[in-house]
Structure 1
Amino acid sequence: MFIISLTYTDLAGVDALLGAHRDYLKEQYGRGVFLMSGRKVPRTGGIVIAACESREEVEALVELDPFKEAGVATYEITEFVPTMTSDHLASFREE
């Protein structure tokens, strides 16, 4: 499991690409890769929780984000092992 933390570097550029970014997110949700996402408060970036098999997979997905392609955000990727979850996310729990 991975946390993708975006930090906006050009808010006007982010605003211009929101439609394309949302299409990218919807595609990954459709593939079952992204589990949740949203903006940070204050609006300095965003967070994505991704169920990828490897760091290489999540890094490749980040490269497809229109924000990344346009250079309007930077990315930090953190891998973690979910050992406790709510019942709704039990299928992602690892021992």
Structure 2
Amino acid sequence: MFIVTLSYTAPIEQVDALLLEHRAWLDEQYAKGAMLASGAKVPRTGGILLVGGLDRAALDALLAEDPFAKGGVAHYDVVEFTATKTAECLADYREQPAF
């Protein structure tokens, strides 16, 4: 599972110009089952994505298609972790620890 932190690298007006396209892209990722949660940071300096069911190469390819990435308005930091415990609604994403 991955936690992706987006940090805006452009003025908010440039981010907002791509927001509808970004939200449509998010909807596609939810429909594919890759996106588990998403939302804006508070204060609004970027966003957070919770992604499951992909390996790192697939995640990188997915993020490259985000209109924010294509528009050059966000930087992405990725943290991969093993979700050994989850809420019941995320039970399909539980993993066995590697150690």
TM class by shorter-chain length?
Answer: over 0.9
4+ long deviations beyond 6 Å: none
Q: Report % sequence identity.
A: 49
TM-score between both structures, scaled by the size of structure 1 = 0.95
In structure 2, list runs of 5 or more residues that go unmatched. Answer: none
Q: Which amino acid aligns with 1:2?
A: F
Task: Tell me, yes or no, if the aligned pair for 1:28 and 1:34 is still in contact at 8 Å.
Answer: yes
C-alpha RMSD of the superposition: 0.9
**What is the number of equivalent residue pairs in this alignment?**
95
1:87 to partner: Cα distance: 1.4
In structure 1, list runs of 5 or more residues that go unmatched. Answer: none
Separation in 2 of the partners of 1:94 and 1:72? Answer: 33
**Deviation digits for residues 22-45 of structure 1, max 9, x if unmatched?**
000000101011011000011010
For 2:7, the equivalent position in structure 1 comes to 7
**Deviation digits for residues 47-77 of structure 1, max 9, x if unmatched?**
0111143100000001000000010010011
TM-score between both structures, scaled by the size of structure 2 = 0.91
Q: Which amino acid aligns with 2:3?
A: I
